[in-house]
Amino acid sequence: MFPNMALRTVLKSTAGVFREGATGLCSALATKPWTCSSALLTAPRVTCAAGSVAVPPPVRYYARAAKQKTTGPESQLSDLPPAMLKMDYAAVPAIETTDDVVKRLLSLEFASQTEKLQLKKEQLIAKVQRDENDRTSVEVQVAVLTAKIRNYQEHLLKHHKDKANKRRMLMAVDRRKKLLKNLRLVRYDAFEKVCEQLGITYSFPPLYYRRATHRWMAKKAFCLKVYKEVQKQKAEQQRMRPKQSSASRNTETTKAAAA
């Protein structure tokens, strides 16, 4: 019981001390109001009651510069006019007599990315196809893959961590490279036309390509080391040959003189 009474007295005394300190602080703040050092912001006079502590208002930085939006490269779909009708409704004869609102709803302004990409594929196919009914030739396949590859490239510029679409893009690039290689060997004139119409820069494959494994790299380093050692031995032998020839000549002259 005695320890509890002592604890209560100590707590009462400390509470009185804190209350006296708070009242003294508030009176000091009332006599000397807080002012902001900035010339743009002025704080009002701080008044507080007994037993409370005044907190100065926070400084707000309103003059912070706005972030500038970075603009990426131009998309391949930017040349499509918004007033153009979708591919499914372009050949409908009754579309010309419809209302302007309906035409706007059926135009590319409200079309999805897939519908715009399909229209771009048709435009590229029309540039390289052999006839109107050609849908399976090598030139048509290259045009379709070109539209897909450019769409993947634009997507990866915004989402560079999308590994799945990056893998699909690399697969499409390899497929197009094989088709162009075969077309160049079979029909060179068609190959030149496809590269010119689609804006493709064809790079020739290396003459020799081998997958670099650890075993192959170690073997190559060992072969280079052996080759250098052989070259050193050949150079030393060539240096020793003039000395040997001169020594043999000296011996022949001495034998002739002795005879």
pLDDT digits (tens, 9 = 90+) for 125-155: 999 999 999 999 999 999 999 999 999 999 9
Distance CA(224)–CA(217), nearest Å, equals 11
Q: What is the pLDDT of residue 104?
A: 87
Distance CA 83, CA 109 (A): 7
The domain in which residue 100 lies consists of 79-111
Identify whether 95 is part of a domain.
yes
Q: Give the pLDDT confidence score for residue 204 in this predicted structure.
A: 81
Cα separation, 106 vs 103, whole angstroms: 5
On whether residue 193 sits in a domain, the answer given is no
Given this model, what pLDDT does residue 40 score? 44
Look-up of token digits 């820069």: 201
Residue 225 lies in a domain: no
Q: pTM here?
A: 0.55
Q: Which of 55, 62, 57 is closest to 40 using CA atoms? A: 62
Residue 205 lies in a domain: no
Residue 259 lies in a domain: no
pLDDT band at 4 (very low <50, low <70, confident <90, very high): low
pLDDT band at residue 233 using 50, 70 and 90 as cut-offs: very high
Task: Tell me if 15 is assigned to some domain.
Answer: no
Quick: pLDDT tens for 151-179: 999 999 999 999 999 999 999 999 999 99
Instruction: Please report the pLDDT score of residue 64 as a whole number.
Output: 65
Q: What's the pLDDT score for residue 36?
A: 44
Question: 87 pLDDT exceeds 80?
Answer: yes
Residue 38: pLDDT band by 50, 70, 90 thresholds? very low
Instruction: Give the C-alpha separation, 157 to 53, whole Å.
Output: 54
**What 3-state class would DSSP assign to 60?**
coil
What torsion do the CA atoms of 39, 42, 47, 48 make, to the nearest 10 degrees? -90
The distance between the two most distant Cα atoms of the chain, rounded to a whole number of Å, is: 139
DSSP state of 84: S
The answer to the question of residue 231 being in a domain is no
How much of the chain, in percent, has pLDDT values that exceed 70? Answer: 69
Question: How many structural domains comprise the chain?
Answer: 1
In a domain, 89, yes or no: yes
